[in-house]
Structure 1
Amino acid sequence: MKEKILEKATDMFLNLGFKSVTMDDLANEMGISKKTIYTHYENKTKLVEESTSHLLHCISHGIDHICGLEKNPIKELYEIKKFVMLHLKDEKSSPQYQLQKYYPKVYGMMRERQYELMEDCVLDNIRRGVEQGIYRENLNKDFVARIYFMGVTSIKDQKLFPMNKFPVATLMDDYLEYHLRGIITPKGRKILNAIINSNQE
């Protein structure tokens, strides 16, 4: 039952937002009593904490799988973006914004873990891109990895990028292209342009 509550809560948080979903909503949706939920999770904060941890685990597992396929590094970044967007339901309810505002401690812990989980994958992506001649040789790999992570997390700031002006899917595409154009070689540019053109068809 604990797992079922966690899965349902995670799904509802992503679709409706961390603040918007109450324990009553969750109980009603599952057809169980609130008491049953409290047997497994002492309060909503604990449930939010476990839910973000569960989500992070699922996403990092999926990203590890994509990285393990050792695809072309540019294609790999697009595959990861597609996978994350699918898991985060396109972030219609801006869960990250609500998490940051109403559960800052949980948000802080998630940010730290997020970087730890992403670091190896991003650094490996850069290293392989340089080896294959599609990323520039003179890159400061650590700098590029960190600036990429900062960008990925910062574009979710709704004060900077309000959703009515910057739809999430377009924003992610624009950011990825911006990141890649700064590090690719002419050989890499051909691959990137081919991906962008095929995405527009």
Structure 2
Amino acid sequence: MEIKDRIIEGAYELFIRYGFRSVSMDNIATKLGMSKKTLYQHFTDKDELVEAVMEYDITHDEKDCMLSTGNALNAIDEVLNVIDTVADQLSDMNPMVLYEMQKFHPKAFKIFQKHKDEFILKMITQNLHRGVTEGLYREDINIEVIAKFRLESMMLIFNIELFPLAKQYHLKDLMQMIGEHFLFGIVSPKGYKLIQKYQQERNKINNDAKK
């Protein structure tokens, strides 16, 4: 693996777990077993490294999203697959990551915003059209409005004023709850029955896994 790629992956692991503010270039160098001089040979400063990490994360997120979409049997299955994928990504994420990126690394945050407002919005919009076509979502929904609503509702979990940093609020659980609530709000009777079917199947799998 190229040294630059090693640095990006190592920094990503630290930033996601501990946040941007508390992780220094010294911490990253120590984790990777290399000198700070080596880090600065590839990145001018921490800001540039954070931007590279953001690009790295977006590239992998888009691949995961496309895979979840491509493997989906229908629009509801697609949403549930994406929720599961994102929930797994959030399981070890520090809730302060987005807030700290916006405050301390605005260029990296703009990269994230572009990804959110273009790629994620496009994927949501396509899913809504698919669900209506399949008869799983209500025909009367305003796709443009609902797509933007869904996009912004996904960001609510990072609002530390709404969901303070406490044990009762875990990003993974919040993502799943908000995602399922959204689905129930737009599905047709046919879609409602399908969600119930999927929930029963998942509960059975979870119960079997605990045995």
Fold similarity call, TM over 0.5: yes
Amino acid at match of 1:63: C
Given the alignment of the two structures, is residue 169 of structure 1 paired with residue 172 of structure 2, yes or no? yes
Q: Percent identity?
A: 30
Hey, what's the Cα distance between the residues in 1 that align with 2:31 and 2:200? 42
The match for 1:189 is 192
CA shift at 1:69, angstroms?
2.7
3-state SS of 1:19 partner = coil
Q: Deviations over 1:19-70 (max 9, x none)?
A: 1110000111111000000000000011001101110111011101222234
Cα–Cα, structure 1 residues 143 and 149, in superposed 2: closer, same or farther, change >3 Å? Answer: same
Out of 18, 39, 42, the residue aligned to residue 37 of structure 1 is 39
Hey, what's the Cα distance between the residues in 2 that align with 1:198 and 1:45? 45
The match for 2:7 is 5
Hey, what's the Cα distance between the residues in 2 that align with 1:101 and 1:11? 20
3-state SS of 1:182 partner = helix
The more displaced of 98-107 and 29-38 is: 98-107
CA shift at 1:93, angstroms?
5.0
Superposition TM-score, scaled by structure 1 size: 0.92
Cα–Cα, structure 1 residues 90 and 149, in superposed 2: closer, same or farther, change >3 Å? Answer: farther
Amino acid at match of 1:22: S
Q: Deviations over 1:71-128 (max 9, x none)?
A: 2211211111221232344424532222123223421331122221112221121111
Given the alignment of the two structures, is residue 48 of structure 1 paired with residue 50 of structure 2, yes or no? yes
Hey, what's the Cα distance between the residues in 2 that align with 1:161 and 1:91? 15
3-state SS of 1:91 partner = coil
CA shift at 1:198, angstroms?
4.0
Amino acid at match of 1:107: F
Hey, what's the Cα distance between the residues in 1 that align with 2:172 and 2:66? 22
CA shift at 1:163, angstroms?
3.6
Q: Give the conservation status (yes or no) of the 8 Å contact 1:100–1:107.
A: yes
Consecutive unaligned residues in structure 1, runs of 5 or more: none
Aligned residues: 201
Amino acid at match of 1:161: F
CA shift at 1:143, angstroms?
1.1
Consecutive unaligned residues in structure 2, runs of 5 or more: none
Amino acid at match of 2:180: E
Hey, what's the Cα distance between the residues in 1 that align with 2:99 and 2:90? 13
Superposition TM-score, scaled by structure 2 size: 0.88
